[in-house]
Amino acid sequence: MEIPRCSGILLHPTSLPGPYGVGSFNQAAYDWVDLLEETRQTLWQVLPLGPTGYGDSPYQSFSTFAGNPYLISLEDLVKDGLLDQSVLDAAPNFPQDHVDFGWIYTWKPKVLKQVADNFSDRATTAQQADFATFCQDNADWLDDYALFMALKDAHDGAAWNTWAMPLRGRDPKAIKQAMQAHTGVIHYHKFMQWAFYRQWEALKGYANEKGIQIVGDIPIYVAMDSADVWSDPQVFFLDDKYQPTIVAGVPPDYFSKTGQLWGNPIYRWERMGNNGYKWWLRRIRAALRVFDIVRVDHFRGFAGYWAVPADEETAIKGEWLKGPGAHFFEVVKAELGDLPIIAEDLGEITPDVVELRNQFNLPGMKILQFSFSTDAADKFLPHNYKSNFVVYTGTHDNDTAWGWYQTSSTEHERDHFRRYFRTDGHEVSWTLIEAAYHSVAVMAVVPLQDVLSLGTEARMNLPGSASGNWSWRFQPWQLEQGALDRLKEVTLLYGRDPNLYEGKGDEAGGQ
């Protein structure tokens, strides 16, 4: 993947401002794209955009193909003539500085259900034709997803591997009966996907026209309670009752002394390889429809993965098993060509992971917050970088830069930070931002929280914590002009605007 020297901001769409409880693809999203353009950023990184369930994590989605209905702009549905403004005028007084997912869950789906139920009466001929075309073009995943969600609704949200065996095992007779019994709810879920994709593709097109690429995220694993596992159980390690036998996680590391027990079912890689990784090819094609560049979360799982017996309560008692390795990427490259993939190569990295990443010339990741626990040889310190990396001050799993310095770091790390940057620590966020932008890493991405110099209260996720995550939102008044001007200045000062290099040949940076 050939990439020009560039930079951007990490901000999940749920963090955008707006009156209806959660960020969406409304005017605030277009204003955000304008702000990126004004500050000369050319990347907008988001988290996975799939529908979320218990815990609200975008990394535990009901589908790897579907979009999150929470992100649908209700204002745009009003503009499209599908929803009355009076419904929005009667909306609850939602908090503005965070997402109250429980409150959203009790209100927004009901509004969308009303729109779906009235669609045939209110939609224009063109809208109805577009919906029909969408359903036809996406039938290979949409039919299973919509039925899966309808059945979850009918089972009060219970996980699919607790349903009656005929539905668990997708008995043809049981599936036919379910499709007939839940026609209205199936339509509702298909409608929400149509609305999501229609609005997202318009927003993404707007960003692309302004020279901004969307960096998305593919979690290597899918959720156990998902349409993906229900519709293709044969490619996962499940027993004859459709219960997982081994599950995914990582051993003890920087984030957790007991490791992280994710609980995702693990792929039968040999079986997948025997059929040419068809499931993964579908998944990657779908991701490239939604994103311009894809960060593969937990890339090391392709070289080797941590497998934990399903009955364990922590991730300590797992074992490393061999992943598909180069064979997987060779097949993908042969089918889809060179892919715009970023390898999330954090955690316990062994030489085979580095070799796999380098063999396919995939950019890895550098996290500045990880730089200061050892000494000058630390691989996360900027003077040790090579160009084919993406450098972050921190990711969605880290504390904010200011929060890290104040509360999450050790005295050794703080002292090392101050000595390394010759600073007294009064501008931690901007010290790290300038280090990222100044570095030789081809891409630099920083969370908006760091641009705004916010503390731990603005943290997006605390790994291993079951609640209180994914809810941060910014408010328009926080976008101080001084910070935005400074972002533009460091972008230009350190050559992160690719337009600076147009027509200048080898001066364009890259690999």
**How many angstroms separate the most distant Cα atoms in the chain?**
71
Q: Is the dihedral of CA 490, 494, 496, 501 positive or negative?
A: positive
DSSP 406: I
Residue 325, token pair as written in the block: 């390795």
Among 56, 76, 144, 344, the active-site one is 344
Rounded Cα distance between 140 and 283, Å, is 11
312 is catalytic: no
Instruction: List the beta bridge partners of residue 214.
Output: 44
Q: Establish how many alpha carbons lie within 13 A of residue 436's alpha carbon, considering only the half-sphere containing its beta carbon.
A: 33
Which residue, chain included where needed, has tokens 């160009």? 387
Question: Tokens 């794209």 correspond to what residue?
Answer: 33
The alpha carbon of residue 57 and the mean position of all alpha carbons in its chain are separated, in whole angstroms, by 9
Told to judge if 375 belongs to the known catalytic residues of this protein, a careful annotator would answer no
344 is catalytic: yes
Strand order in the sheet with 341-343: 341-343, 293-297, 213-219, 43-45, 6-10, 443-447, 389-392, 364-367
Residues facing 319 on adjacent strands:
307
Q: What is the DSSP code string of 37-94?
A: HHTT--EEE----SPB-TT--TTSBS-SSS--GGGS-HHHHHHTTSS-HHHHHT----
Catalytic pick among 75, 76, 217, 297: 297
Residue pair 216/46 in contact (Cβ under 8 Å)? The answer is yes
- The residue annotated as part of the active site, out of 144, 397, 413, 497, is 397
d(CA 225, CA 62): 6
The SS3 of residue 482 is helix
- Whole-Å CA distances, 73 to 106, 119, 203, 303: 17, 16, 11, 40
Annotated catalytic residues are 297, 344, 397
